[in-house]
Amino acid sequence: MSINLLLAATMLLNFMLVATSRVNKAIQLAAIQGSVLAVILLLMHEHWAFHVVLMALSTVAIKSVVIPILLTRAQARLKVIQEPPPYIGYTLSILLSALGTGLAFLLARRLPLQAGVLGTLFVPASLTTLFTGFLILTTRRRALTQVVGYLVLENGVYLFSLLLVKNMPLLVETGVLLDLVVGIFVMGIVINHIQQAFDSQDTQRLAHLRD
C-alpha cells in the first residue's frame, strides 16, 4: 500500500516537473524523484539483502546527489535561472501530461504482465514518467533542462526495471546507472561546447548545423 502511495507521489512529481519554469527547481524535483525510487526499491523487499541496499544507496548517490550537484554547478556557471517559453506552453504541457497519465493507465491493463503486478501502480507510473521525460526533452529549449528530461526518462526506465529486480542481477542495474552518469557527463560536455560555440545554450541554434 505504501508503495502505491509512493508511486502516486512519483506521478505527482511528474506533473510538477512539467509545470515548473525554474531550472533549479526542476533539478531538485528530479533529485527527489530519484530518492523516492530508492525508497520504493527498499519497500519492495521484506529482507534487505546486501545487494538491494547497495542498489538503493547507489541510486540515491547518483540520482539525488551526484547528478543534481553536477547540474546545479553547471546551472550556476551558465547563469540559467528561468527557462525560456517552451515549444508547448506550461498549461498545455500539464494537460498533455494528464492525458498521458490516463493513457498509461489504459495501456497498463492491456500489457501482457504477471498477475501480481496488475494491482499496483508500477506500470502506469513508469509509463507516465517515461512520457514526462520525453515531454520535457521535446518541448524545452535549454540544453540543461533537456538533461533533466533524460534524468526523468531514466527514472521511468528504472521504475519499470524494479518489476524485475528480483531477477535482475546487480551488474545490469549498475550498468544502467553507469550509462546514465556517462550520458549526463557527455551531455555536460556537449552543453559546454554549445555554450562556447553559440554563446548561448538555446538548442534552436543547433538547427544551423544541419546540411
Partner 1 sequence: MLASLFLATVLIAALSGLPGLLGKDLDGKGAARLLALSALGGLGVAGATLAGPGWALDLAWSLPGARFTLRGDALGALFLMPVALVPAILAHYGTAYWPDSEHDRAPTLRFCFGLAVAAITLLCFAANAILFLVAWEVMAITCFLMVASEDRDAEVREASWIYLVAAHTGTLCLFGGFALVASARGSFDLGPIPMGWASGLPGTLAFLLFLMGFSLKAGLMPVHVWLPVAHAAAPSHVSAFLSGLITKMGILGLVRVMTWIPDPPLWWGGTLLTVGGLSAVLGLAFALGQRDMKRALAYSTIENIGLIAMGLGLAGVGKSTGNGTLVMLAGSGALLHVLNHSLFKSLLFLGAGSVAHATGTRNLERLGGLLKTMPWTGALFLVGATAIAGLPPFNGFVSEWLIYLGAFQSLPGWAWGACAIFALCLAGGLALATFARLFGITFLGEPRSETTHLADESPQPMLSAMKLLAAGCALIGLAPFLVFPVLDRAVSSLGPNLPYLRTQASPGLLSLVNALGLGFAWIAWLSLRNMASRPSGTWDCGYAAPTSRIQYTASSFAQLLEEPFRWALWPVRHLPRIRGLFPGPSHFRTEVPDPVLDRGLKPLFTVSSWVLGWMRVLQAGHLPIYLLYVVLTLVALLAWTLT
* Contact footprint for partner 1 (CB under 8 A): 87, 107, 110-111, 134, 137-140, 146, 203-204, 206-211
**Minimal distance in Å, beta carbon 114 to partner 1?**
17
**Minimal distance in Å, beta carbon 158 to partner 1?**
17
Q: Of 48 and 87, which has the nearer Cβ to partner 1?
A: 87
Spacing of C-alpha 185 from chain mean position: 16
Question: For residue 59, how many other CB atoms are within 10 A of its CB?
Answer: 22
Q: Of 82 and 204, which has the nearer Cβ to partner 1?
A: 204
**Minimal distance in Å, beta carbon 79 to partner 1?**
22
Q: Of 57 and 99, which has the nearer Cβ to partner 1?
A: 99
Residues 6+ apart with CB under 8 A from 8: 121, 125
Q: Quick one: which H or E segment has residue 82?
A: none
Nearest-angstrom CA–CA distance, 154 and 179 = 10
Decide: 37 and 60 in contact? Cβ < 8 Å: no
**Minimal distance in Å, beta carbon 135 to partner 1?**
9
**φ, ψ of residue 22 in degrees (nearest 5):** -95, 130
Q: Of 47 and 210, which has the nearer Cβ to partner 1?
A: 210
Beta bridge partners of 202: 142
Q: Of 40 and 133, which has the nearer Cβ to partner 1?
A: 133
**Minimal distance in Å, beta carbon 211 to partner 1?**
8
Q: Of 111 and 164, which has the nearer Cβ to partner 1?
A: 111
Nearest-angstrom CA–CA distance, 58 and 97 = 29
Length of the chain in residues, anyone? 211
Decide: 134 and 15 in contact? Cβ < 8 Å: no
**Minimal distance in Å, beta carbon 46 to partner 1?**
33
